Structure 1
């Protein structure tokens, strides 16, 4: 009887937990839920039944409140959600690689986020004799205001693509990759902030003088030294991120070597022939780990990358219902701001 009792209460081995990217899976689940008119959690449970992180993220069952300060629940989940967003964008976005090193905050529906200003100066502290008053210094740097902005994208996909077993790969490739490229153009730009987008990180920053050395190998080190010296007051011992076009980034990496841990090379086609140096800890960003995804299968799309005002039609129209296609729209809240004006320096080098 004793042997039978032990056998009756023997637990079956648990199925292995499935790893995956929370961002792309959440995006896929929201897309299919919008199309099938069902709950996001039901789609996730059907497609990835063993992905506990995703199911916890999407679940709305009654439970103890999840707090980001509590280990084992929301503390790790918030970190993974934010990290997975940047990981998903990484293959197509140099800006995502930069944001991995920055102060990245979860947007979480906030209307405005105020991040502390970044002040680094030896004059802000000092030695004081025993029993003497400690000087109080008023920092001139104010907080970095993170205004709400959104990246949006619409892509038409056939119903077969959306409902296939490759839905996650196809949806993320069509939407996430294009979003990453659009992010680079604005992030590494020099345009001022508008009602639609935040200012580029080079806004208001003049170019540094490039090296005139005729030895390309020596010119690389001189240009990098110029840029690092420009951001060193806020960057300290690093790390420093060097951003260049893909070809120049490879050339730079081969010349500088991979042993230098304080320099992180990042490639982006959005910077053209320029070379940018960034002190990442002096940049704050806020992004949402929960992009809004909507679908429409009976709409008419104006197939134009620069559509006119709302309500106007264009020549390249596409009927979703007639072509048995699905229009997927993604709205992704994201913004950034410099915590110090000296966080970025750039120049246009002569070497290739």
Structure 2
């Protein structure tokens, strides 16, 4: 076998042919073509995190580990190399390509994350996108319409008054820390990489989805946004049969019409169990009453439907995507440490005297590594009437016509 310029050639074969040209052609090695399969979404990010974790957060060591463990992952290797020396992100031959590599596969993790979240499903398929705006940009928002008046000849014209407010989406970040044992990292294989990826994704998904549709989630200044249904007066469901479904949807749409909010761009958001119950409901002829909705979503009354188990039980949301602002960095930042001490709790506290959490666990003492992921994202309703909420929906639960 022969290797030349990283191209694999098969063994030379015996010369054949009736002249020099044919003999030369028969002796010329033929290159074997190798096609590298693109890794599963999020795996490059997981490999970056594993290399960083295996090195205990040491970038130099992580770079060497990545070269040894993932020799074909050029973007992972060059991204870890990016922090080894000084440079500028505008230099076309030094740091700029390295920064670009990290953004690409960090973005790859976000793309893996997005379809699994409520927010991530906006803009996918037939579901319209939320209104995207940059961070820290003030946007004037009109909260009331003006009026026109009939005016008689020679009469004074009344003034028209408009009400405005201002919306600014500041920097807000959602973060998680996943703790992995050194054994898992050291003896990792593709399965372990999936574990790392899924652990980081699962925590971010839970936080984003819960806070996006939790009615009790109020805004915390300079920390986190309110849910899109926080402060919205809910409508109580009228029953469980098909007629009740019609009545409930009419009530939701009526709130839009009363507030002069266009139904165009509206999306239903509901639990998977609610969508499944709707898909099973049948009319008096035994036909499916709502054939276009299923356990995974679809459409409902001609509007797209997003399904998530983080929607409160019995809650159905009608949200107008044009009336909800979203600021999203689109990247995930990752860091790792094998020396930190963590409070192993999803509700850490700080001691008033020491400023430290209680019951700290040493990563060094327990042969563990903590991987931290952060994503900058924020949202806000353009106006309160952008969302209508139905509560107590138990459609299809043993009722006549279900």
Q: What TM-score results when the alignment is normalised by the length of structure 1?
A: 0.71
Aligned residues: 322
Match of 1:131 in 2: none
Q: Distance in 2 between matches of 1:273 and 1:25?
A: 39
Which residue of structure 1 lines up, in the alignment, with residue 185 of structure 2?
Answer: 162
Q: 1:182: which partner in 2? A: 207
Aligned to 1:252: 278
Please list every run of 5 or more consecutive structure 1 residues that lacks an aligned counterpart in the other structure.
68-73, 125-136
Q: Which moved more, 1:45-54 or 1:28-37?
A: 45-54
Deviations 1:257-280 (A, max 9, x none): 217452213123342332111122
Higher percent of residues as helix: 1
Q: Does the aligned pair in 2 maintain the 1:231–1:278 contact within 8 Å? A: no
Give the drift of 1:346: 0.1
Give structure 2 stretches of 5+ with no counterpart: 1-19, 83-88, 149-159, 282-289, 294-298, 396-402
Q: Is the 8 A contact 1:302 1:318 kept in 2?
A: yes
Q: Distance in 2 between matches of 1:175 and 1:89?
A: 13
Cα separation, 1, equivalents of 2:165 and 2:76:
38
The equivalent of 1:288 in structure 2 is 329
Report the equivalent of 2:361.
318
- Matched residue SS, 1:151: strand
Equivalent residue runs for 1:152-301 within 5 Å? 152-163=175-186, 164-165=188-189, 166-190=191-215, 191-195=217-221, 196-207=223-234, 209-212=235-238, 214=239, 216-231=241-256, 233-238=260-265, 240-255=266-281, 256-258=290-292, 260=299, 262-301=303-342
**Taking structure 1 as reference, are residues 227 and 304 closer, same or farther at Cα in structure 2, changes over 3 Å only?**
same
**Residues 201 and 344 of structure 1 are in contact (CA less than 8 Å); yes or no, is this contact kept in structure 2?**
yes
Q: TM-score, normalization: structure 2?
A: 0.64
**Secondary structure of the corresponding residue to residue 236 of structure 2:** coil
User: Equivalent residue of 2:183, what SS?
Assistant: helix
| SS of corresponding position for 1:206 | coil
CA distance in 2: counterparts of 1:87 and 1:280, whole angstroms = 22
Decide whether the 8 Å contact of 1:34 with 1:293 is kept in 2.
no
Structure 2 CA distance for partners of 1:21 and 1:295, relative to 1, 3 Å: same
Alpha-carbon offset, residue 42 of structure 1: 6.9
Q: Distance in 2 between matches of 1:94 and 1:115?
A: 24
Segment of structure 1 superposing worse, 289-298 or 77-86 = 77-86
Report the Cα distance in structure 2 between the residues aligned to 1:337 and 1:229, rounded to whole angstroms. 23
Larger C-alpha radius of gyration, 1 or 2?
2
Per-residue deviation, 1:300: 2.3
The residue number in structure 1 matching 2:8 is: none
Q: Does 1:15 align with 2:35?
A: yes
State whether residues 323 and 382 of structure 2, in contact with CA within 8 Å, keep that contact through their aligned partners in structure 1: yes
Q: Is this contact kept in 1: 2:255–2:388, CA < 8 A? A: yes
Q: CA deviation at 1:291?
A: 1.9
Tell me: CA distance 1:49–1:7, structure 2 relative to 1, closer, same or farther (3 Å): farther
- What are the superposed Cα offsets for residues 271-290 of structure 1, whole Å, 9 maximum, x if unpaired? 23321111223322222333
1:198 positional shift: 0.8
SS at match of 1:271: coil
Q: Once the two structures are superposed, what CA deviation does each residue of 1:243-270 show, in whole Å capped at 9, x if it has no partner?
A: 2233223213444321745221312334
Match status 1:97 vs 2:140: no
Between the aligned partners of 2:228 and 2:139, the Cα distance in structure 1 is: 16
Counterpart in 2 of 1:133? none
Pairs within 5 Å for 1:57-136? 63=92, 85=110, 87-91=112-116, 93-98=117-122, 101-103=128-130, 112-114=136-138
2: distance between equivalents of 1:82 and 1:235?
33
